[in-house]
Amino acid sequence: MDSVVSDSTVSDSPVAAPAVSGAAASLGVPAFAEPVEAMQPWQTDRTRAPIATKIVVAGGFGVGKTTLVTAVSEITPLQTEALMTEASAETDDLTATPGKLTTTVAMDFGRITLDDDLVLYLFGTPGQQRFWFMWDDLVRGAIGAVVMADTRRLKDCFPALDYFESCGLPYVVAVNHFDGSERFEPDDVRDALTIPPHIPVMIMDARRRISVIETLLALVAHALEETPE
């Protein structure tokens, strides 16, 4: 797997060669190039059209969904972060995440190419209950979902688990360990959440690209097993 992807981020992408106009060159004015996205093989060779798949990233408030999408996306991710205000004090519990200043109010969006013929489009859902009405639209057309869990507040991921169980969408559980949180084995988390034996439970770090990719690969494999056609 490490041969396909690495912990490098989009900041490693090549930069376009600077274009200097005649006037600027004669005056000795330095030219600055805008960074450009590295082209994937399937973007330059139209005969190699990849399989595009949609993945949903869900979970409770402040569990790390935006961090996951940002860490793994090969493009600048679309984020709908808004500053938290006193108006949300009674509905958003910041006990476990006291330093959280923003929250997703619509969705996160990113893209990652896992191979020449497989591209994943990631859609992160908002975690607060008042935004759950958007889940039906975000989930439409997805092959599977990553349900993120925080061991300090496992109950927060129950709504997502119930949702994907009810709609029959394949999913995996990804335990995002925060600094200072108690470490648990996957089987312990499975028992606590009463997850069926065939559902993969991953221990991951949403800040690390390779850790996120391992979780996404597990989801793709699980989705293929559940819906091979």
Percent with pLDDT over 90 in the chain: 41
Query: How far, CA to CA in Å, does 5 sit from each of 12, 53, 78, 116?
Result: 13, 18, 22, 12
Superfamily of domain 50-226: P-loop containing nucleotide triphosphate hydrolases (3.40.50.300)
What is the C-alpha to C-alpha distance for residues 4 and 118, in angstroms, rounded to an integer?
A: 12
Tell me the per-residue pLDDT of 110-163, one tens digit each, with 9 for 90 and over: 999 987 778 999 998 885 665 666 778 888 999 999 999 999 889 989 999 999
Q: How confident is the model at residue 179 (pLDDT cuts 50, 70, 90)?
A: confident
Angle at 142 between CA 66 and CA 205, to 5 degrees: 35
Provide the residue ranges of all domains of the chain, joining segments of one domain with +.
50-226
Tell me the per-residue pLDDT of 20-34, one tens digit each, with 9 for 90 and over: 444 444 444 444 444
| pLDDT greater than 50 at residue 36 | yes
With 0.85 as the threshold, say if the pTM is over it: no
